[in-house]
Amino acid sequence: MQYRKLGNSNLNISVITFGAWAAGGWMWGGTEKKEAIRAIRASYDAGVTSIDTAPIYGQGLSEEIVGEAIKDIPRDNVQLLTKYGMRWDLPRGDFAMKSKNTDGKPIDIYKYAGKESIIKECEDSLKRLRTDYIDLYQIHWPDKTTPIQETMEAVSLLIEQGKVLYAGVCNYHADQLAEASRYMNLVSDQVPYSMVKRSIEKEDLPYCREHNLSILAYSPLERGLLTGKMKPGYTFAPDDHRGSLYFFTDENLRRVNAFLETITPLARDKQVTIGQLVLKWTIEQPGITIALVGARNEKQALENAAAADVELTPLEIEFITSQLNELTLIK
């Protein structure tokens, strides 16, 4: 495993970080708590010391699972990354979407990052995670109803109180990063980035590189698309959000799998899976600090962790990128 520093912080996190969205089951067709706990512990044993979660993932369930999984691990040995700013229990702020909770009951979700809400969310997260501090606290999505200054000042207060060590953001663009940085020291921006979703390369990634902000890439396997395991005709569970995404249409599955076939010989030569090759390519891209990867079971967790140890030469990375540049998806 490799470890990289976040921005100008003293926080080193594993280049493969455990993404605990799927562990909470919400929008992923449910969860098996014991399997999720085993996956997190297996990741840790393989060197994955960093875990990214959020209250909205299962409406608290993901954080509870993470807290249970790490309860016997010395706290300083793990880095807990969680978020704030999405409420399912308070109809306030910027309406985000209608959804269902883990029991199948309808819920309305709001993006809200007002001061009092952040303070409450932090206390709730600390309890669920069974800890007295959060290593990296991140706004989950921009909230256009609350001034960025108010949001950042609330997190600054939590840092002063020792409940949070460092502040980051998620899904912020360059202009939002610039404004937020006026009010506090940010160390990272967590954004979607994968072989089939590279729009941040135009503006946001260059901004982060210039200002020493780490990029935490989420969905680097594009929710399983880039593993090569999904074929045309694949059927998702009714409450699995992937069924509504254009990535998973039969035509796009055909196109992605055709691309993956071009790099399969390289994976075979390295004796690694396609998914491991994809993850290694991702963390080797300029400006990408770490990749957040989910796992539903121990086997997936160990495969993800091993991606950090794959060795790719600059020529091999260039070859993968050249093949990738020929891929076009239909939106």
pLDDT tens-digit series, residues 6-23 = 999 999 999 999 999 877
> Does 28 have pLDDT greater than 60?
no
Question: Which residues are identified as catalytic?
Answer: 57
Residue range 70-84: average pLDDT?
Answer: 97
Q: Which residue has the higher pLDDT, 118 or 101?
A: 118
> Does 240 have pLDDT greater than 80?
no
Residue range 18-42: average pLDDT?
Answer: 77
pLDDT of residue 237: 73
Q: Is the pTM of this model over 0.95?
A: no
Domain 3-224+277-310 has CATH 3.20.20.100: yes
What are the φ/ψ torsions at residue 97 (nearest 5 degrees)?
-175, 165
pLDDT of residue 31: 59
pLDDT tens-digit series, residues 181-225 = 999 999 999 999 999 999 999 999 999 999 999 999 999 999 888
Strands 16-19 and 50-52: parallel
- The CA-atom distances, in angstroms, between 331 and each of 236, 244, 248, 251, 294 are 19, 12, 10, 10, 25
Q: Kindly state the greatest CA–CA separation across the chain.
A: 54
Residues in a beta bridge with 28:
240
> Does 117 have pLDDT greater than 90?
yes
CA 168 – CA 190 distance, rounded (Å): 8
pLDDT of residue 139: 98
Residue 182 and residue 311 in contact, taking contact as beta carbons nearer than 8 Å: no
Residue range 92-96: average pLDDT?
Answer: 92
pLDDT of residue 16: 97
Residue range 14-35: average pLDDT?
Answer: 76
Average pLDDT, the chain: 92
pLDDT-based confidence at residue 130 (cuts at 50, 70, 90): very high
pLDDT of residue 30: 53
Domain range annotation of the chain: 3-224+277-310
